Every structure is written in structure tokens, then in C-alpha cells.
């Protein structure tokens, strides 16, 4: 077993006081960390000081946090955390779809932040990259509106089917409330939106069984919601 090396951390935060207090806490805890107030400064500093973890605020001057996350998600083993005061489901999903591994809502307890950093880095090193590298994961294509199984079978999707899978895969195994999904996909003003969602999911499961020759890894949490329970990426 190799000795544990604390991850190197970069912070992109335009609130100067918050940036400095977070950096001070990380330095006291033994981490190598640096921070900047915008995307341009971050890209320049990254060339000199590579990191393992990037913490990003959304509302930045110039390029916003979502865009920065999208640019960074192609870097192998780089863990991305969005830390924002925006706490709506739409914002959280947008962050995860952009490439963030975690989405934390301000104000964040700094001990909790460090726990998230360490857990995420271990997961990046040990778990997440292995099934993806081996091709043993589901792949959702936003360009072609298809879902590809680990065996390589391809399932064409309608707009609502794609959005349903996008929501579930983006939160990486977590359960999403049935009401939140129905409000997004069917519409808040539709009285029988939950029933329509049930029909949509039943048809999608039936289509998957017929086309992919295997069931979709979507778990139903009774009286709560749904979760996509297999390794998956959004392309």
C-alpha cells in the first residue's frame, strides 16, 4: 500500500474573503491549494500548478462555472466540485451534466468539504475510471439521443426518454423524486403528470427489453422516486 498523498486543490471563487478563508483552512489541514477569481486566471495558473481537484463557483465574471466544468471534464482523474449558492434541482443537474462530480450548496461546512474531497478523489482513483476504461458502462449520447448498453447495443430515444435518462444518470446513482422528474419532463401544470411519467417509464423499459435484450438498470424507490443504478456516462 502506498502512502496517502493529499490531493492538490484549486479554487475558482470571486468572493475574495470566502476564497481566502477556504484556502487558509485547507492549508492548515495540510493541503496544497491555490485560488483565483475567474476562469482566465485559473487556466493560466493551471499550466504552472496542476491539481487533482477543482472547486468552482457558478456566478463568476467572464466564463461561468458551468462552462469551466465542461472544459475540464475531459481531463483524466481530475475531480470537479461545484460550490454555489444556487440550490435548485435545475442548477444541480446542470452542474452535474456539465461534468461536476459533486454539487455542494453554500454555505458549506469546511470539514464536510474536506470529507467530500477525500472521498471523491479515492473514488476517482479506484472506482469510477475502471468501468469506463473497460467499456463496462452505459453511455447516453446527447448528440444522437441514444443509450448504448455495456454490450454495445443501441437504444434510440425520444426527447422525453432522453431527458429522463439524463436526469437519472447525472446524479450518479442517487434517487430523484418522482415529483421532480414529472414536473421537469411532463410539466408542473399537468394534473396527471405522475401517471404519465409511469407510462413513459413503462414504455421505455419495454422498448429496452426488446431492443437491448436486457433490462434498464433503473430502480424504483417505492413512494419516492427512481435511480439509475449502473455505471454510466453522458457524452
Q: What is the pLDDT of residues 155-193, one digit of tens each?
A: 999 988 998 998 888 877 788 888 888 888 888 777 888
Report the CATH number at residue 23: 3.40.50.2300
pLDDT at 127: 37
Residue 29: which domain range?
9-133
Q: What is the pLDDT of residues 28-85, one digit of tens each?
A: 888 899 999 999 999 989 888 888 899 999 999 999 999 999 888 877 678 899 999 9
Helix 178-185 vs helix 89-98: angle between axes, to the nearest 10 degrees? 80
CA 29 to chain centre: 26
Q: What angle do CA 49, 55, 58 make, to 5 degrees?
A: 125
Final residue belonging to a domain, choices 82, 100, 133: 133
Report the CATH number at residue 228: 1.10.10.10
Report DSSP letters for 30-54, one per residue: T--EEEESSHHHHHHHHHHS--SEE
- pTM across the whole model: 0.54
Mean pLDDT of the chain: 84
Rounded CA-CA distance 21/110 in Å is 10
Q: Are residues 23 and 129 in the same domain?
A: yes
Strand partners, 154: 148
Q: Report whether pLDDT(122) > 70.
A: no
Q: Are residues 148 and 71 in the same domain?
A: no
Q: Are residues 102 and 154 in the same domain?
A: no
Amino acid at each position: 500500500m502506498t502512502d496517502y498523498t493529499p490531493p492538490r486543490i484549486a479554487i475558482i471563487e470571486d468572493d475574495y474573503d470566502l476564497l481566502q478563508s477556504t484556502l487558509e483552512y485547507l492549508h492548515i489541514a495540510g493541503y496544497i491549494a491555490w485560488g483565483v477569481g475567474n476562469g482566465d486566471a485559473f487556466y493560466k495558473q493551471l499550466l504552472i500548478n496542476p491539481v487533482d481537484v477543482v472547486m468552482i463557483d457558478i456566478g463568476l465574471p467572464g466564463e461561468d462555472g458551468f462552462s469551466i466544468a465542461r472544459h475540464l471534464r475531459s481531463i483524466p482523474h481530475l475531480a470537479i466540485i461545484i460550490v454555489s449558492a444556487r440550490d435548485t434541482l435545475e442548477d444541480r443537474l446542470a452542474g452535474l451534466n456539465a461534468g461536476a462530480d459533486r454539487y455542494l450548496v453554500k454555505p458549506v461546512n469546511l470539514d464536510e468539504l474536506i470529507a467530500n474531497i477525500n472521498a471523491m478523489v479515492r473514488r476517482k482513483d479506484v472506482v469510477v475510471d475502471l468501468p469506463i476504461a473497460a467499456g463496462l458502462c452505459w453511455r447516453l449520447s446527447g448528440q444522437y439521443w441514444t443509450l448504448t448498453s455495456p454490450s454495445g447495443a443501441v437504444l434510440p430515444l425520444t426527447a422525453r426518454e432522453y431527458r429522463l435518462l439524463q436526469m437519472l444518470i447525472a446524479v450518479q446513482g442517487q434517487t430523484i423524486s418522482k415529483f421532480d422528474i414529472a414536473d421537469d419532463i411532463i410539466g408542473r401544470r399537468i394534473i396527471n403528470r405522475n401517471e404519465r411519467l409511469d407510462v413513459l417509464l413503462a414504455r421505455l423499459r419495454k422498448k429496452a427489453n426488446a431492443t437491448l435484450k436486457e433490462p434498464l438498470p433503473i430502480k424504483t424507490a417505492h413512494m419516492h422516486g427512481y435511480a439509475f443504478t449502473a455505471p454510466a456516462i453522458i457524452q
